Amino acid sequence: MAFRYYLYVSDAKVSMLLSQIDPGWSRKRVTEMNIGLKMAGARRTVETTGTDRFARLERVLNHLGDFGDLGDVDEPGQFVHGVLPMQWGAIGDNDTVYFGGHSERTVVGLGGSAGHVVSGATSGGPPQPQLSASLVPALLDRLAALAAGDEPSDVDALGAVVRANSALRGPVQTVEFVAKRMLYGPCPYPELYPHSDMAVLLGSPLYVALAE
């Protein structure tokens, strides 16, 4: 059995998708939790809640794998699965987490709210941004600041991903992820890479996990 060491899980996106995939899931899990609480006592509350978070994610991932438009980073569908060496860290006012890397053919950037980082949240969680970092306008705003301090209106969206990736610091870690495709198109800086047909992909992750 392969285990995942999660770095990031977007409960908001998982809930939104699960409500469309299996509307009865929440009712079923609440019933199971209530029975478990009556049988095992209050200690069961934390265990069941934690287990439920990842069970919900697995339910969504299984559905995407079986029925969804799930591609890879070089041929993305509505959703993208990948395993890549990436750098990552908090950007903006530490309210956004960003992962950057590339395959042989595609520059990849993944961004979302820092509150979904599994083990790095401080007590009470980070301040919530006015506009979710999973939305393209907010994410591009933060990437522009990371890349060059430009105003969002002056930044080409795909170029912002390339420049933001080059500005990331810290160790490279191999991670596995599934993300919602937000933007995809030809790289505006093909001269920086060996392949002239390099593409750029910006996504919002459902999860990111260590693959090492």
The distance of Cα 101 from the centroid of its chain, to the nearest Å, equals 13
| Backbone phi and psi for residue 102, each to the nearest 5 degrees, phi listed first | -160, 150
Compute the average pLDDT of residues 178-184: 96
121 versus 162: the higher-pLDDT residue is 162
Band (pLDDT 50/70/90 cuts) for residue 202 is very high
Of the listed ranges 62-66, 140-144, 146-150, 152-156, the one predicted with least confidence? 152-156
What is the structure's pLDDT at 183?
Answer: 94
Predicted pLDDT at 154: 41
pTM of the model: 0.77
Region 190-198: what's the mean pLDDT? 89
Confidence class of residue 212 from pLDDT cuts 50, 70 and 90? confident
Contact 145, 113 (CB under 8 A): no
**The token pair that represents 84 in the structure block:** 């890549």
Quote the mean pLDDT of the chain: 79
Q: Which of 25-39, 95-109, 146-160 has the lowest mean pLDDT?
A: 25-39
Beta bridge partners of 5: 210
Residue 126: φ, ψ to 5°: -70, 160
In the predicted model, what is the mean pLDDT of residues 22-44? 52
211 phi and psi, to 5 degrees?
A: -115, 15
Q: What is residue 115's DSSP assignment?
A: G
Continuous segment of H or E residues that includes residue 200: strand 199-210
Q: Hey, which bits of 62-103 come out as E strands?
A: 70-72, 79-91, 96-102
